[in-house]
Structure 1
Amino acid sequence: MTENLLSTLGLDRPETGDDAVVPFTLENLDTRGRSVRLGQALDTILKRHDYPAPVARLLGEAIALAALIGSSLKFDGRFILQTQTDGPVNLIVVDFDAPDGVRAYARFDEAELEAALAGGRNQPGALLGSGHMAMTIDQGEHMERYQGIVALDGNSLEEVAHTYFMQSEQIPTQVRLAVAELSRKGDPVPHWRAGGVLIQHLPEHGMAVMPDLPGDGNFDNPHTADPDFVEPDSWTRARTLLSTIEDAELADPAVSPEQLLYRLYHETGVRVFEPTPIEERCTCSLERIEDMLRNSFSSEERAEMAVDGEIEVVCEFCSSAYHFNPHQFETSN
């Protein structure tokens, strides 16, 4: 790190590596944001299911977006990003367990995917197709859940995020996401990486905005952004500078989030804060699945699930397999 970078960012710690979110502010531009860099955590999730590369890239973008949003939660809870569409990749679920855990999976139709790729339809919007994306805040048992839904109609996840925040939260938002499969020096095996930056315009006066991210306001009743809102020059400059980022910069393991932010905003000033580490972590467990089978299914239903006298439950996220005797639930009551 150069002294100029250290001085500009006011950094008194090492630069951030992989699997972390770095919050920052652009005080002179009335803007705040977060930068995410995912390495091993993302690689573990994507390689576990051996997704085709186009599916892996799309799921990687969704994971990066969920990390950017979910890491802002100020309480222990879950942020869930889910898409349901009619495209080749018809379901994506990313479960962010605040403050630092993430798991995810994607469901796709192999024949539809092959046909789409053969026809040159390999962009995220084309793979998703039409449907919707839901963002859910789960604050835990006995607490209200908040959910917002935005339409997907051939749009990328970046575009959908922009639309959602502007229409539902009245917060001008810009997002950049990139996913790449790269080989490390001395390691011929490629590994998945992702990077992303989210910025939001939050002026002290002017446009009425929600106090924070989804869950702080009435998330179930989206409203249309103020039609009389005039984009201020500060926000125009912040998002214009963000648009200059190349995908290669976002995913480059040699470029730290701090270096990236310095490249973008050193002329206007940027202040970074302590990073939040991110880890791949599944919340499934023998106890949770046992409780689910006991409380959500009848004896007859459990008997129908059994194959060769055993119930097998496989976690869609981490592929862990759990086995149960269908009669154990009756004897334990």
Structure 2
Amino acid sequence: MLGSKIAWDDTVLPFQLDKSDVRGRVARLDGVLENVLMQHDYPPAIEALVAEVALLTAMIGQTIKLRWKLSIQIRNDGPARLIATDYYAPTADGKPARIRAYASYDKERLQEDGDAYDNVGNGYFAILIDQGEGMKPYQGITPLTGSSLSNCAENYFAQSEQLPTRFELSFGRSTLSGEDEKWRAGGVMLQKMPKASPSVAPVENEAADGVLKAEDILSEDDFENWNRANILLDSVDSLELIGPSVQPTQLLTRLFHEDQPRVFDAQSVAFGCSCSEASVRNSLSIYSAKDIKTMTTDAGVVSADCQFCGMHYEMDPETLGFEAKAGPDGRSA
């Protein structure tokens, strides 16, 4: 299977290193990332942060068997106040997973010089999993620690799940011959297999800096295997992650051939938003006629904009809230 060719644009390829008891993902986001970012006119620093979280979302979302949605939220007191992404699981076999992303930022405080992560202050990294109606949602939260959002995600899995995890990412604007400049991103995720938990070393004391590391979690043998996989990943080149000349399967063969990599079916991803007029109406159904009146514009409508895709909705206030006098079609309620 490692010799087979798959489309490298907008895919997530799951793999497993049997010899090391490590699983992972190789992701390439190109058109989908361009679609995510073209919905907004973000400054370059915010674009870079959104691109990084979108790539993390694609890989993390694909590791979890979802019925519906995984969300990542990064809230902090820095200029990049909020970065939120959603991963919607495929609705059927052969269908793409869908990703959307949004950022809220303080333009006056934004630092365009230096690393984009300089705009992230103190706050938290959260993963929320919604398995759909009738299922209890899951939420995990850890403090923002490290020198990148990738580090924050690694620390989340170490602290919240006690699963050593590593991300190696590359992203930015690039130009292929004969094409316009566009955003491209690629990355590799490594994670110790959850089934290895019986051999996970008991965590008796917290790390000195409060952040668990692989050596704090794993037994000696497991740490040796984990460390070897990370050393091999250290040799990856940025162009191998985002360039068109190296297929993900070829990359895995080059990096981990001694660890017997196995690949599974690739998952395609696409930009997609779940917003609709019906969902907006549902969110307003808890308000009284008096509340709806305060939301009504001088033009006599209630308007709403989707923060993710920019879709604009205008609705008759008489059809909104639990005291609505008419249905969405304008007929008497």
What is the TM-score of this pair, normalised by structure 1? 0.85
Query: What is the aligned counterpart of 2:290 among 275, 278, 300?
Result: 300
SS of equivalent to 1:297: coil
Match of 2:161 in 1: 169
- The C-alpha deviation readout for 1:4-60, integer Å capped at 9, x for no partner, is xx6xx2x4x432321111000111111111111101011011122021222111111
Query: How many residues are treated as equivalent by the alignment?
Result: 305
User: How is 1:165-244 mapped onto 2 (pairs within 5 angstroms)?
Assistant: 165-187=157-179, 189-202=180-193, 204=196, 206-207=199-200, 229-230=219-220, 232-244=223-235
Structure 1 unpaired stretches of 5+: 1-5, 210-222
User: How is 1:4-153 mapped onto 2 (pairs within 5 angstroms)?
Assistant: 9=2, 11=3, 13-99=4-90, 100-113=97-110, 116-118=111-113, 120=114, 122-124=115-117, 126-153=118-145
SS of equivalent to 1:274: coil
Contact 1:170 1:224 in 2 (8 A): no
SS of equivalent to 1:319: coil
Provide closer, same or farther for how the CA distance between residues 242 and 258 of structure 1 changes in structure 2, counting only shifts above 3 A.
same
Q: Quote the offset at 1:285 in angstroms.
A: 0.9
Match of 2:209 in 1: none
Provide closer, same or farther for how the CA distance between residues 228 and 16 of structure 1 changes in structure 2, counting only shifts above 3 A.
closer
Task: Tell which deviates more after alignment, 150-159 or 283-292.
Answer: 150-159
CA distance in 2 between counterparts of 1:123 and 1:103 reads 20
Match of 2:330 in 1: none
Contact 2:44 2:112 in 1 (8 A): no
Contact 1:183 1:190 in 2 (8 A): yes
Q: Quote the offset at 1:62 in angstroms.
A: 0.3
Report % sequence identity: 37
Runs (4 or more) in structure 1 with deviation over 6 Å come to none
CA distance in 2 between counterparts of 1:49 and 1:244 reads 35
Aligned-residue CA RMSD in angstroms?
2.2
Residue identity in the other structure for 1:49: H
Contact 1:101 1:279 in 2 (8 A): yes
SS of equivalent to 1:266: helix
Contact 1:102 1:279 in 2 (8 A): yes
Contact 1:23 1:35 in 2 (8 A): yes
Query: What is the aligned counterpart of 1:324 among 310, 315, 322?
Result: 315
Contact 2:99 2:273 in 1 (8 A): yes
SS of equivalent to 1:87: coil
CA distance in 2 between counterparts of 1:232 and 1:153 reads 22
Match of 1:156 in 2: 148
SS of equivalent to 1:278: strand
Q: Quote the offset at 1:254 in angstroms.
A: 2.7
- The C-alpha deviation readout for 1:158-214, integer Å capped at 9, x for no partner, is 211221212221111111122111112212x211111121111237451179xxxxx
Residue identity in the other structure for 2:319: Q
- The C-alpha deviation readout for 1:86-110, integer Å capped at 9, x for no partner, is 1111100001111311111111111
Q: Quote the offset at 1:233 in angstroms.
A: 1.9
Provide closer, same or farther for how the CA distance between residues 256 and 287 of structure 1 changes in structure 2, counting only shifts above 3 A.
same
Q: Quote the offset at 1:227 in angstroms.
A: 5.9
Q: Quote the offset at 1:76 in angstroms.
A: 1.2
Contact 2:5 2:247 in 1 (8 A): no
- The C-alpha deviation readout for 1:111-162, integer Å capped at 9, x for no partner, is 211xx234x3x242x2211110110111112211111111114631221122
Q: Quote the offset at 1:263 in angstroms.
A: 2.0
Task: Tell which deviates more after alignment, 134-143 or 264-273.
Answer: 264-273
Match of 2:277 in 1: 286
Residue identity in the other structure for 2:76: T
Provide closer, same or farther for how the CA distance between residues 272 and 304 of structure 1 changes in structure 2, counting only shifts above 3 A.
same
Q: Quote the offset at 1:267 in angstroms.
A: 3.3
Structure 2 unpaired stretches of 5+: 91-96, 203-211, 328-332
